Each structure stands twice: as C-alpha cells, then as structure tokens.
Structure 1
Amino acid sequence: MDLFGVDALAHIAECRAQRHRERRHEHQQARIRSFWLMVDPSKAMVGVATFGLSVVALGYLSVLVKMLTCIRWPKNTTHLLHHVTCKDLAHKLGKSLVEAADRQLSSRVTSSTMQLAISLTREESLARKRILGDLALETLLLYQMLESGSPTVLIGIFTFVAASNALVCAAMMFVPYERAPLAETFIDILFDFLIIIGSPMLVVVYCLSTFTFDHAKYAINLEVFPPGWFEQGASVIANAEQVAVIYESLKSLRIMTALNFFTRIGVNITLCFRLWLVVDLIHNPKKHRRSVYTKRHRFGAAFLVVYAAMLTIFVEESVRTSSLACQPHPECVVNARRWTILEDGSLTQCPCLMLVDRDIAPKTYAEWENPINVTEKVAQLAAQGDLQTVQLTNRNLAVLPEELRLCKDLRHLDLEYTHTQTFPAWIKELTNLEFLHVESKFTSPMVVFPDDMFDDMSALTFIHFAVFLLMRKLPSFDGLTNLKSLALAVFLLLEEVPSFDKLHNLERLVLASLPAINNLPDFPPIKDLKSFAATDRGAWCCNGFLGHCDLSDGKCGVHPLSGTPAATCFASDGSDKLATPATLAVVKKFSATTCGPVLRSGVLEDPPTPELVAPCNGTMWKQCERPGGVEAMCYNARFMGITCITTPYPIEMRQWQIAKGVGDPCNPAIEAWLGCKVT
C-alpha cells in the first residue's frame, strides 16, 4: 500500500512536470512565431486576393483538363466551327474597315481613326498587345522592387530578365516566318516562368542564404531565463539590420495592396493564356497561326532595343543616385532605389526606408547616460516622408521631430533608452504603425501618452512598453483590433490594464512588474491566446480576484523593491469585480507562467550606476565584486550599459554557451571562472 502511494505521488509529480514543460514549450513557440509579426491584410483585400487566385487556379486547372482531353479525344468539331465563324466575322469586319479607309475622306483624322480600328481587329494585334502588356507588367514589378529597396542583386537579376525579354522580342522579328509562332510561344512562357516562379524563389533563396540566426544560443536562452524575460525574445539574438532587409523582401511577395493584386494576378493570367495556346499547338501542330511580330519590322525592333537600354539606364541611375544621396547616412540600412537629382551639400534627399542606429552595450556610464543625440539625423532622414522603420537603442531622441509626421507609412517604431518621455499629439496620425516598442530609462521614464493615441491604429500588431515608472494610465486599446503581442513591464504606478474587449487577435500577453494592479481585464474577447506570462508581484493572484483571498501570500505584501503597499482583500458584497469563468480558465491554462514568486533584490538586473559600471571597464562576462561576496558578472542586461549584476540567469546562460561552444568565443583570461579553458 505504501509502495502504491509512493508510485501514485511520483506519477502525479511527473504529470505536473510534464504539464509545466508543455506550457513552457507553448510559450516558447509563441515567442518564435511572433518574431516576424507579419500583419494580416484587410478582409477586403483577402477577399479580392482569394477571388483572383481562385480565377488563376481555375485557369491552370482548365489548361490541365484541356491537355488531358486533347490526349484522349479528337478535336471538338463544334468548337472548331465556332472558332471559324468568329474568325470569319473578324475578317469581314476588317475588310469593311479597309474599304472605308481607302475612300477619299475629307479628314485625315477620320482616316487615322479608321486605320487604328483596323489594327485592333486584326488577329495578330491582340497578341502584340499581350507582349506590350507583359513588358508593362514587368516594368511595374521592377518599379515596385526599386521603391521597396530590394537588395541590389535581386534588382540586377530582375532587370536582366526584363531587358532580355524585350531584346528577344526584337530578335524574333527576324526569325523565319514558318518557325516563328511556336518559338514565340515557348519563349514567352519561359520569361513568364522566370517572372512568376523564378523571381519569388530567388527572393526566398536570397533570404535563406543571407539570414543568420544562432538557434543553439537562442535555445539556451529559452531554457535558462524565466518566461516573459527580455532574453527570451528572438530579436535579442537576431541581427537587426538583417531582419529589416529580409522582412521587407518577404513582404514584397505578399498581396497587400491593389497594385500588388493587379501585377501578381496579371502575370499569372498571362501565363495561363499562353499555356492554353501551347496545348492548342501540341494538339494540332499544323494549325495555322500568325506570327506575333511583323517580320523585319526595323522600327518595332529598334523600339524594343531602345526600351531595354532605357530600362537598364533607369535602374542603374536609380540605384547610383539614391546610394549617393544616402552615403552621408550610414544609419539608413535600406533606401528606395529612386532616381534623385542630387544637390550639393544636401542631407535631406536620401529616400530612406529603414533607419537603424543601435548601441546594445554602452561601455561607460557616460555613454549610457549621455548617448549620441540623433534628433537632427532622424529629421534629415524623415524629410522625404519615406521612412517605414525607425529603430534606435541607446540614442538621445527626447522629442520626436516634426519631420517624422510626414512619414505616413511608418510601420516600425522602436525606441529603447532614448530619453523620450512624451509623444506628440500627432502620433495618432501614424495609422499604419505595425510595431511599437518603447523602453525607457529609470532616470527618464515615459510619463504620458495622448488619450486617443490608439484610436485609429488598427494595423498595430506588436506593443512592448517597459519602465514607464510614473505612468498611471494607458490609452484605450479599443482601436487595436489586430494586436497580436502585448508586453507591459515595470509600471510601478499603473492601477489598471485597459479593457481587452477589442483584442480579438491577441496571441501573446506579458505582464511583468505591475505591482499596483489588483485585477485583470476580462478575457472572453480573446479567442486564440497562445502565451500568457505574469511575473513579479500580482496582487490579483491572492487578493480574492480569482475567488480566494490569502494576504499571507508574498504577492499581496509590501513589494520588497518598489515599496508598493500591501494589498487588501476584495469586498465580499460584490462591489468589486471578480474574475469571470473565462478569465479563470485562462489563468488556469497558463498557471505555469503566471502567479509566480515576487522578484527580490539580486534576481532582477539593477540599472547602471557609476559604481556598478566602473568595475567592468566595458568588458563583458568579467567577474566583478559586489558587497556580501555575492557572485556577480559584467553584463549588458536588456541592452543597458555593461554593469556588474548579481542576477544568476545570465551567468548560467554564459556557462552553458561556453560548455556547448555556442555564441561568442570565450576568452580564458576573462572567463576562466565560467569554465573557459585554453585550447
């Protein structure tokens, strides 16, 4: 009986541990999925794109059915009769127009109109228009690539394909008539495949070959640090510039606008039509078909050659002049490839799309407390109104410059330790914002947001706010209908989290160090929450909000770091709003990552001070001394200055990295205490 009891207890403990591991794995997977945070297109665009792609799919399917039908059954005579009748009708219409044009008409304008009508009724005219349409679509796609700042190598390859298409069209005008129709069709299909299939594949291959991410290093972070900690974010490991370039490249493959729709669907419909013609030729090789191009038409050939030359020159000048305009701004990591008329000494002509300027490990206290002022730099790069990304870490941007207001397409705003304490009222005009990360310093925290800041920000997908020590109220979240990730950390005076009523798409929620919060918003509106972490004091865990009040729990006592007063039990008369069944279910589901212990001194990293920064002398992983003989290490916690910290997690992380040969190579002279050995 005793053995059975021991086995049962062991089984229960193992089940609980397994559930904990499963919850932790779910939380980790949610962090990984939230890395790219691609914004979903509008419902209208999804509907239109679905319709367009369905039409394309039906077109390809009809080609397949036609091909199989042609293999099994002879040609349909009824279809042939219909085709001949239509052809005869067009021939008669063209003949009557020719006769009308040959008459003595008093007006040359009328005669020219007649000749134009004749050209439109000819069978080969539509085919020629398709060729011109192809060139127009290719030019439009190339222009989109230039404006989106695609990598030069991709632009070069696409330009080569588009120019080659025009030159081959010119060459086909001198191919013998009897060989022209079949050759023209197959060449057109080849270029269509290069544009429709080859180019997207090339973009994906480029992204895979250039993106570097240390998965082993990230796996250690996931294992060592508690859920919700800064180091569990994949963006901590990734190269910010690489992420910016690849994000833009991958986004170019999506159908997000009407222009994307017409170009992507248009080239697919063209390919579908040409495949249909090929099946016709395979089924009936002797079928007579006119050549698309007028034979030995020197003017037409010259036009195509000039087009190819002008296209190449335009692309080359667009890349060259825009690069020169952005040369004074190395912080601009992606710029539109736009033909720019350069002005001597001008610093505001750069068509910058992505501004990234970061110092993730300030070496001295002066660098940490008085970083480089980039207000003028941001104003210069925002002057063209093209900025889509602003990412600053340990830079001084106390006030957002007025020029940033021009950037209506700003999508990514990341301000870490920039001394920004308020946002201007016009921040609400940036309605295309998708990513908003603001992390303040303890010495200059964000104080207030405009009350209507989020009212029209339906595109916003990611929010991370941290160290807003003095902020008591956040704006309403009702406008954030597409929000997927929300993280609020170190709000010492915040008394209430705004309602979740409109956050139907929220997938990840982190509430860290919100000691004054006594309850949570209702969770029923959130249908697909994949991760919920709540660390440090949470009075709602023990004050009766969840149904049971236990003031002896440390989460309801005086906070050991912030000094927040002890909590009181919720009133039993119903005057206080208790957790709904849906909220209780969410807390139970994520019990492994919520209502944990209160953070105490030595667990959370201390902010840099002159006394804590000086022993490190700008050297990472160095062992340093703290009062009491506590084990300490020099580390740039959360991208702050390199500081002597006693937090055990970074020390354990570096020990694992050294043991597994992961991350930066270790230096035995500095890291011998962590296990680094001379090789």
Structure 2
Amino acid sequence: MTVVNPQTDGLEGGPHEAELAAAGVQLSLATPCVQRRESGATRSVRRLSQSLRADDGFTAVFGVLGVAMVAAFVCSALTLLYLAVIQLFPIAAANALMNTRELDYGEFWLLSQASPPLVGLATAMLLVFSLAYLALALFMVFFRDYALPVSARKAQALKPREAANAPPVATASVRPQQVKPRRRSVPKLRRQSSVLRELVAHDGAYHAYFNMALDLPKLLFQTVSLVTYLSEGFPLPLIHFYATMLVLNWCISFARFLRDARDHRLVVTRLFYLFDLFFAVFAPIVVLAYAYHTFKMDREAFAVREDALSPGSFDRIARLFADPVQVDVFRFGFSHLQLTKLWYIVVKGALNLLALVKWRLIIVHLIRAHHKTVLQRKLGPKACAARDEQASSARAPANRFRVAFGVAVFVSSIAAIVSYTSISIHVSQRNCDTLPQCRVISYRVEHLHETTCPCIVFVDRDLAPKTFDAWMNPPDATTALALAAQSGHLRTVQIINRAVPELPESLRHCHEMEQLILIYTKTQALPEWVREFENMHHLILIYTKTQALPEWVREFENMHHLHVESNFIHYPLHTLPPTVFSNMKRLRLLRFGGAATLTEFPSLRGLEELTMLVFSIPRGLTRLPDFSDLHNLAMLVIADATHLQRLPSLEPLRRLKSFSLLRRNAVCCNGYIDGVCNLTDYQCMPRAGEAPVSCEAARISDADIAVIQRVNGFLCSKNLTSDLSESEPTSVSTDGLCQGVLYRKCSMNGQTGICYNGRMQVIHCDIFGEYERMRRLEIALNVGPPCDHAVEAWLGMNALTTLTLHAAKRTLPRVSLLRATRSFHASAAVAHGDLSKFANNPTVHLKFRKPDGAIVEVDAKKGMSILQVAHANDIDLEGACESSMACSTCHVILEDDVFDELEPACEDEEDMLDMAFGLTHTSRLGCQVFVDESMEGTTVTMPKATRNFYVDGHVPKPH
C-alpha cells in the first residue's frame, strides 16, 4: 500500500497537492482556502499559462502531432464553412472560383440549386460541424482541463489561489488510497461492464474491433464515392488519385487492426485519422482544383468578342465555344459539393459526427493519460512500479481469428477495389474505342461481355466548315449517336454542323439526359419521347428544320437554358404553345430567333429567375409579352423586330444591366421612340412579302427612357443599308471568295469584308463589319488565334506590328488588357457611331493640323475625345485598338497650355506613347484627351507618321 504523508513528503500546501487529491490522496485541511473571484481575462491568461507549463504544456500532452491536429481542425472548419457558402450561393461561388463572372452574364455554368428547405438544412449542418471542428481546436489549446474528472478540475483551480495565500495547515488525518493495477479477472456480475471496457478502452483487449467499427462506415462511404466517380466518368488522373488514397486508407486501417504494440500516445491512430480527415474533407476540393487547372478559356479573346460584336450575338455565348468536357468535369465535381438530397445530407452529417466523436475520444484519452503519467511520476517509485505492472498486462498478440477476420474484411475489400477500378476502366475504354465522339465515358464492369459503350458526353462538331458543300451536306452523325445511346447513360449531346435528320430511337432510354444541343443538324422535329427527359435543363435548337415546339415542352420543369433559333428564310419558327413557359420556373436564359412568321409570343409570367432574354428576328410579332415578373432580368436584346409597334414597360426590370435594340425595328421609325414617323427610313420602308409598317401614336415613357439611359443601352441602329438576309452564305461568298481561308480580305456587293465563320457557319465573306472590327481588336491586343502575315497583312499584320504587339503584351498585364476592353464596352453607343449623348453639350471650336500641314477647323462637343472628334469630321486619325490604350495610332501633339491643364497620363498610356513615332513633350493619345471649354481655338497636331496598324489605304471610320 502506498502511504503519502503531506508533511514528511514536503507536499503540504505545495504545488502537487491538487494532483494528489485527484489521484485519490485526500487531505483534510484544518483551514479552508480563501477564494478570490477572478475576471474572465484573468482566467484566460491562467489557462494559457497553464497550457505552456513544462509538465502540462500543449506539446507535452499532444506532441508534435498536436500542431498538425489543430491545423487540420481549423482547415476542416474553414472548408465546411466554404461548403456552407456554396450551398447558399452556388452560382457566385462557382464564378468566383473559375473567374467566369463576366461570361454569359454569370450564367456560364448553369448550376442547379436545391429547394430552400434543403439548402437551409444543409447550410445549418455544415455550420454546426464547422463550429464543432473549431471547438476541438480551441479545446486542445485552451480548455484541456475540462477533459479531467470534476475533482481534478476543482483541485487544479485551487493552485493560483494557494500560491497567493499562506498555505493551509493539513491535519494528520490522511486517508491514502492504493494505486492498483488493472485485473482481468472480475466478479461474474461485473463481467459485462469489463467486456465493454476492454472494447472501448484504448488499451482494451478488444479495442481493435471497436476501431474497425468506427472506421468501416467512413471507408465504405469513400468506396461508394469511388464507384460514383467511376460511373460518372471523372478524368482518369482523379480516378487514380482517389483510388490510391482509398486503398492506402484501407491498408492503414488493416495495419491498425492487427497492431499489438501498446501506443500510449496514439501516434499511429492519430496519423491514420489525420490522413482520413484529409481524404474525407479535402478530397472533393481536389476535383475542383483539377477542373480549375484544366479549364481553358481565353477570357481576353472572349472579352474582345463581347466588345466588338453586337449584344445578343450568337458568337458571344461563351458556353457554346467552351470545351464541353471541361465544363462537365467542373459541373460534376461542383455538384458533389452541393447537398441537394436529404439522404446525402443525413449521411454526410452522420459521418462528420462519427469523425468528431473519434477525435474527441482521442483528445480526452491523451489528456487523461498524460495527467495520470505526471501524477504517477510525482507519487514516487512505488507508483511507477504499479504503472509498470499495469503496462506489462498488455493485450494478447493478435490471434488467428483476428488475423483471419482482418484478411476477410480488409484484404478482400482492397482486392475488390483494385479489381473493380482496373476492370471497369479497361472494359469501358475497350468498348468506346470505335466512338471517338464519346468524350466522357462511364467506367463500369457490367458491359464486360458486351461491346456497348457507356457514353456520357457525346460531342461531334465542326466549328468552321471550309467549303459550301461541306456545310450544306455535312456527315451524318445519326448512327454514331445511336450507338452511344445504347447504354442509356448519355447526359450531354452536342452536335454542330453534322446531319441528324431524326433523333435515334435508342436515345429515348437515356433518362438522365440533361443537355441536348443541336446546331445546323437538319433535325426535322423533336420526337414525343423526348418529354421523358425529366432532368433536361439545357435545350438548344439552332438552324435545324424544327418549325414548331410541341405542347409537352412545358413539362421541362428543370429547364435553365432554352435557345430556339430557326432559319428565318427557309424554315422559320411559326408555332409556340401559349403555355410553353408555364412550368419553367427555373428558366434563366431564354433566346428565340428566326420566328419570322410567329404572330404571338407566349406569356413570360412566373419567370422570376430569368436573367437573359433575346428576341432575334421576330418579324411577325406586333407586340411583346409583359415583363412584369422579370425582376432579375440582366440583359434584354431585341433585334430585327420589323413590325413591333411599341415596347412593353421596362420599369419592372430593376436589375437590368444591358439593353439593346438592334438592326431593323419599326419602333425606331414609326414615331414611338422620337415622335417622328418616317416610313421612308430604311427600317420602315415597304418590302415585298412583308406587311407595311404604320405610324404609332403612343410614345415611349420617360421612365423607360430612364431605364435605358441608366444601363447605357443601345437604342436603334442608324444608317442601315443592308438586310440580314444578305448575310446568308452562298457558294460565291464561300468557295468563290474565301476558299476556306480565315481572315482573308474579300469584296461583295461593292463592300469590303472579311472571311470568317460567324455563328459557326461555313467560312464566308462577311461585309457587316463586326467580325473585321473584332479581328483588328484581337491584333491590337495580341489575343486570339495567331496571325498569318501572308493572309492578314490587310488588317495591319506585318513585322513591325508583331514587334509592337509583343512589346505591348509584355507591358500590359492581364488585368490591364481586360480593363481596356471593358472600358471599350462601356462606350458601346459611341462604338456604333451614336454620338447623340453629346448633342446638348457646349460647342468648342478646334483646329486639326494634318501631316501635310493642312488646317481643318471643326466644331466639337464637350466630353468627346479628340479621336471621336476626328472621326466625326472625317479626319484620318487612326484608332486601331478602338480606344483601349493598346496601341499608339491615335497619337497627337497638343499645345503647351492645353497639355499643362490635362491630368497626367496613366501608366498604360505612357507605355503606348513610348512606342509612338515623333514623340514630343506634349504628346498624348487622342482617345484619352477629352474636349472642354478651355480648349477653345486650340490646334491639335497630327504626327507625320504612326505605327500603322491599318494598311492598303483603309481609313478607320466610327462603327
């Protein structure tokens, strides 16, 4: 029996008195301790000081692995917090991660969102577990005392007070207790509790089975996740990474199950759970990291598209030009971070709760074991001998049953995982070798003895046919699509410039179909069985032969993007069910084009999530539906509404960011916009086969004008001289003028054009100017496809230009280029030649001195740039980069007094001026100098030469 005398052992009132009391040595004090109240700050400082004591410090309790544990808990808390944000704001989170906020008005990914109750439940669960992981970290650092028994905590709380007061006198009445080693033989009535202890205690004989019971649920869930990743066709690098991590996880768990050596510090256990925590919490983030790394989208080139092309243009839809495989990889990976189903929320919650319980058991065990070790060390040799005797009773080595059981469970599982993964990949790749159009395949073993290809994503497209015959008579893709659909796993179909007259019957078994994109496919109509695609959220039919949408289309309740555009000359859209949008409450993008014979458009009631609305060539419509419910609409485009008498009210469009009324529109000349009815205008003049346009007595309201001005909208095209029907490719405009060569100079109907594959059509001669402007801007900013000097010399592509552009590219960082293009977009009205916003500004008289010395006197309006003034008065001042500060071609020389009054040039302008010819101390870029009254009568001198981006006599004109 161990007897401790507080007086003879020098422990009376000493610092170890509390520990002895907690260990079972009870001292009766003659004089009670006087307790003084402590403030919260004092208690926090005391806890921190106790945490740093040598015998009870953080590292003494947890070791070096404790730092890794705290870091893992904090990272887990932050990760779960990020997942909670994803549940609430999936679209914003995806755009922020992938830098796609500017693409398709933030709707590039077209992500789904769960119902509000599920979103709330998932968010609450993730926040609770995030706080729980953070609480574990704080518990380890500041609140370790709470892991001790109540008596020990009360005893430790006395230490600071005893140090401040005179030590009390202990009586001779000391009731010692014996430190007894653990015994295996217990009375019969306590045998059940003893077995439970042997199972739960870290040093118990059956604790290996307890560990296995805790590990198996997580391991099984991770194994099911691997099977899911295989079936959804995740990229092979991700599959290999996940499978390797999973097998390693099973191996570590197996090693723990067979381990016999005592592990008082639980080093192996903690290493396993740290690995498991990384695997479970952070492995899904690896999918997003892979998607981010592999996603290739030339954002600078696409920013040029958005700036150079008209709003609502087909070529501004970023999603159509992106790689569908890269898009689907991100969408699939991101969808696994969204908890959209109740059972998934329950499973994730249970697994996180299990992980927290395991970690709390580990932390409490380490704290109590360390506390016990310290006390035994202080009690002297007899206590240490008792501890050694207890340690000698280690659990028996692994018997044959445990080894056999472990092999049956763990080794068989590992073998099954490796076999299933390798066989499924081999079988699927073998069966899909003959279908290169299957860009994503599902890795399954069920087709081991078959030749069926488990295709998920079918892509067959030619974005730039080179000959007229190749475009008019494309290869037939029906057979390949039928083979790909046999397995029933198809989810995405994208076919462009391939013939699919009728959708194959085998496609009807693909009930998981989500995206059906048919562009220039000659498809006659949608078969009725398409209505069975309940998950359809993306339907695009462009220039097919479909002229009517059936009534059952309204059954697509999950529809996000609906784009129907027909050939308005040969196969115009003429029928839309009046209730086609009645159930599409989640619709966000709606585009209709080529409806030349459609007389009434369906109601838009209930489409509160709609963000983009495009009416293209609705020549048969005399009125548009009401916009009352379109509160979230960000973009509205109306193009070629030749018989639209008036516009619906724009006041409900509170979040509108872009408004465009383009091409021929009756409202632009029937008096509705400006009160002047001019039926001889090109937009309203009579045409064969069309009903005549009549004057309109109603006028656009001041509130609607205010909405258009607020978003700097484009209202009515001016000086139109050609119709959209002239843009249709012909054998002459394709084979005769372009011969399949992009960016070649061509001439048609007396107008100079550029050979380009606009709207994914055959390469043909385009004379409308937008694609030429786009290519010139690409050259100026050194973005987009590489230049061919031999073909694009007429656009200014020569050796001098190449050197200049490379220098500009090095000078202008990525953000500068994007900022430059954004500023050009902000002045869209000016870019289209509309200077009406300066009409009421004061007039300032200016003089231009041309390179030959001639003086031209002009009247300018305050607020116009020198470049705009020059273009408005037919002065040949170049502006190759369209005012984006990516060139020096608008270099001008100012008078000293005017130069001194200007704000200093920014860094971007200075960089461009460094490359200008004839640079003087008063040189500036004409696009950055704006007219005001102080310039009255000043002379602007044009340099003798410029770094000419335009050659062959081309004179830049305002667009």
1:54 maps onto 2:127 in alignment: yes
Q: Which amino acid aligns with 1:330?
A: P
CA contact (8 A) 1:34 1:485 kept: no
CA deviation after TM superposition for structure 1 residue 389, in Å: 1.4
CA deviation after TM superposition for structure 1 residue 134, in Å: 0.9
Q: Which residue number in structure 1 is paired with residue 685 of structure 2?
A: 558
Q: Which residue number in structure 1 is paired with residue 511 of structure 2?
A: 408
1:511 maps onto 2:638 in alignment: yes
**Which moved further from structure 2: 477-486 or 639-648?**
477-486
Secondary structure of the corresponding residue to residue 244 of structure 2 = helix
Secondary structure of the corresponding residue to residue 287 of structure 2 = helix
**What CA deviation, in whole Å up to 9, does each residue of 1:456-505 have, x standing for no partner?**
44444333333343344444444655443333322322344444455554
Q: Which residue number in structure 2 is paired with residue 672 of structure 1?
A: 793
Correspondent of 1:433 among 525, 536, 544: 536
CA contact (8 A) 2:500 2:523 kept: yes
1:364 maps onto 2:467 in alignment: yes
Correspondent of 2:298 among 214, 228, 243: 214
CA deviation after TM superposition for structure 1 residue 36, in Å: 2.0
**Which moved further from structure 2: 67-76 or 194-203?**
67-76
Correspondent of 1:606 among 723, 727, 738: 727
Correspondent of 1:633 among 741, 751, 754: 754
Q: Is the alpha carbon distance of 1:261 and 1:499 closer, same or farther for their aligned partners in structure 2, counting shifts above 3 Å?
A: farther
What is the 5 A alignment of 1:399-478?
399-440=502-543, 441=567, 442-450=569-577, 452-478=579-605
CA deviation after TM superposition for structure 1 residue 587, in Å: 3.6
**What CA deviation, in whole Å up to 9, does each residue of 1:538-583 have, x standing for no partner?**
445665767x7432385972378995632431469xxxxx8795x6
Q: Is the alpha carbon distance of 1:674 and 1:153 closer, same or farther for their aligned partners in structure 2, counting shifts above 3 Å?
A: same
Secondary structure of the corresponding residue to residue 516 of structure 1 = coil
Correspondent of 2:412 among 298, 303, 306: 306
Q: Which residue number in structure 2 is paired with residue 324 of structure 1?
A: 430
Correspondent of 1:253 among 321, 337, 340: 337
CA deviation after TM superposition for structure 1 residue 673, in Å: 1.2
1:392 maps onto 2:495 in alignment: yes
Distance 1:534 1:294 in 2: 83
CA deviation after TM superposition for structure 1 residue 640, in Å: 0.7
CA contact (8 A) 2:671 2:677 kept: no
1:234 maps onto 2:307 in alignment: no
CA contact (8 A) 2:428 2:447 kept: no
Q: Which residue number in structure 1 is paired with residue 285 of structure 2?
A: 201
CA contact (8 A) 2:520 2:542 kept: yes
Q: Which amino acid aligns with 1:668?
A: H
What is the 5 A alignment of 1:645-660?
645-660=766-781
Secondary structure of the corresponding residue to residue 284 of structure 1 = helix
Q: Which amino acid aligns with 2:406?
A: A
What is the 5 A alignment of 1:472-487?
472-478=599-605, 480=607, 482-487=609-614
**Which moved further from structure 2: 126-135 or 468-477?**
468-477
Q: Which residue number in structure 2 is paired with residue 373 of structure 1?
A: 476
Q: Which amino acid aligns with 2:493?
A: V
CA contact (8 A) 1:537 1:597 kept: no
CA deviation after TM superposition for structure 1 residue 276, in Å: 2.4
Distance 1:471 1:292 in 2: 84
Correspondent of 1:492 among 616, 619, 623: 619
Distance 1:143 1:321 in 2: 15
Distance 1:445 1:493 in 2: 10
CA contact (8 A) 1:434 1:459 kept: no
CA RMSD, Structure 1 to Structure 2 (Å): 3.9
Correspondent of 1:140 among 218, 224, 238: 224
Larger Rg over CA atoms: 2
Distance 1:521 1:645 in 2: 33
1:351 maps onto 2:454 in alignment: yes
Distance 2:349 2:371 in 1: 30
Q: Which amino acid aligns with 1:309?
A: A
CA contact (8 A) 1:602 1:647 kept: no
Distance 2:153 2:782 in 1: 72
CA contact (8 A) 1:551 1:557 kept: no
Secondary structure of the corresponding residue to residue 665 of structure 1 = coil
Distance 1:180 1:530 in 2: 64
Q: Which residue number in structure 1 is paired with residue 897 of structure 2?
A: none
CA deviation after TM superposition for structure 1 residue 534, in Å: 3.1
Q: Normalising by the residue count of structure 1, what TM-score does the alignment of the two structures yield? A: 0.79
Secondary structure of the corresponding residue to residue 676 of structure 1 = coil
Secondary structure of the corresponding residue to residue 178 of structure 1 = coil
Distance 2:576 2:503 in 1: 13
Secondary structure of the corresponding residue to residue 463 of structure 1 = strand
Distance 1:645 1:153 in 2: 44
CA deviation after TM superposition for structure 1 residue 444, in Å: 3.5
**Which moved further from structure 2: 57-66 or 534-543?**
534-543
CA contact (8 A) 1:458 1:481 kept: yes
Distance 2:152 2:585 in 1: 52
Distance 2:224 2:646 in 1: 54
Q: Is the alpha carbon distance of 1:664 and 1:530 closer, same or farther for their aligned partners in structure 2, counting shifts above 3 Å?
A: same
CA contact (8 A) 1:605 1:647 kept: no
Q: Which amino acid aligns with 1:536?
A: R
Q: Which amino acid aligns with 1:56?
A: F
Distance 1:215 1:159 in 2: 34
Q: Which residue number in structure 1 is paired with residue 92 of structure 2?
A: none
Secondary structure of the corresponding residue to residue 534 of structure 1 = strand
CA deviation after TM superposition for structure 1 residue 199, in Å: 1.4
Q: Is the alpha carbon distance of 1:402 and 1:65 closer, same or farther for their aligned partners in structure 2, counting shifts above 3 Å?
A: same
Q: Which amino acid aligns with 2:223?
A: T
CA deviation after TM superposition for structure 1 residue 528, in Å: 3.6
CA deviation after TM superposition for structure 1 residue 64, in Å: 3.5
CA deviation after TM superposition for structure 1 residue 54, in Å: 2.6
Distance 1:478 1:408 in 2: 29
CA deviation after TM superposition for structure 1 residue 30, in Å: 6.5
Q: Which residue number in structure 1 is paired with residue 137 of structure 2?
A: 64
| Higher-RCO chain (CA-CA 8 Å, sequence separation at least 6) | 1
Q: Which amino acid aligns with 1:41?
A: A
CA contact (8 A) 2:465 2:763 kept: yes
Q: Which residue number in structure 1 is paired with residue 908 of structure 2?
A: none
Correspondent of 1:569 among 686, 696, 705: 696
1:333 maps onto 2:453 in alignment: no
Q: Is the alpha carbon distance of 1:544 and 1:631 closer, same or farther for their aligned partners in structure 2, counting shifts above 3 Å?
A: closer
CA contact (8 A) 1:657 1:663 kept: yes
Q: Is the alpha carbon distance of 1:72 and 1:95 closer, same or farther for their aligned partners in structure 2, counting shifts above 3 Å?
A: closer
**What CA deviation, in whole Å up to 9, does each residue of 1:236-286 have, x standing for no partner?**
653344333333333333223345434544443343333323432443334
CA contact (8 A) 1:362 1:642 kept: yes
CA deviation after TM superposition for structure 1 residue 46, in Å: 1.0
Distance 1:147 1:92 in 2: 55
Q: Which amino acid aligns with 1:535?
A: L
CA contact (8 A) 1:322 1:336 kept: yes
Secondary structure of the corresponding residue to residue 143 of structure 2 = helix
CA deviation after TM superposition for structure 1 residue 634, in Å: 0.9
Q: Which amino acid aligns with 1:299?
A: A
Q: Which residue number in structure 1 is paired with residue 368 of structure 2?
A: 284
Q: Is the alpha carbon distance of 1:273 and 1:482 closer, same or farther for their aligned partners in structure 2, counting shifts above 3 Å?
A: farther
Uncovered stretches (5+) of structure 2, i.e. residues with no partner? 1-99, 155-185, 200-205, 373-390, 544-566, 803-959
Q: Which residue number in structure 2 is paired with residue 535 of structure 1?
A: 662
Secondary structure of the corresponding residue to residue 269 of structure 2 = helix
**Which moved further from structure 2: 330-339 or 307-316?**
330-339
Bigger fraction of residues in helix: 1
Secondary structure of the corresponding residue to residue 616 of structure 1 = coil
CA contact (8 A) 1:321 1:338 kept: yes
Q: Which residue number in structure 2 is paired with residue 225 of structure 1?
A: 309
CA deviation after TM superposition for structure 1 residue 455, in Å: 4.0
Distance 2:495 2:723 in 1: 28
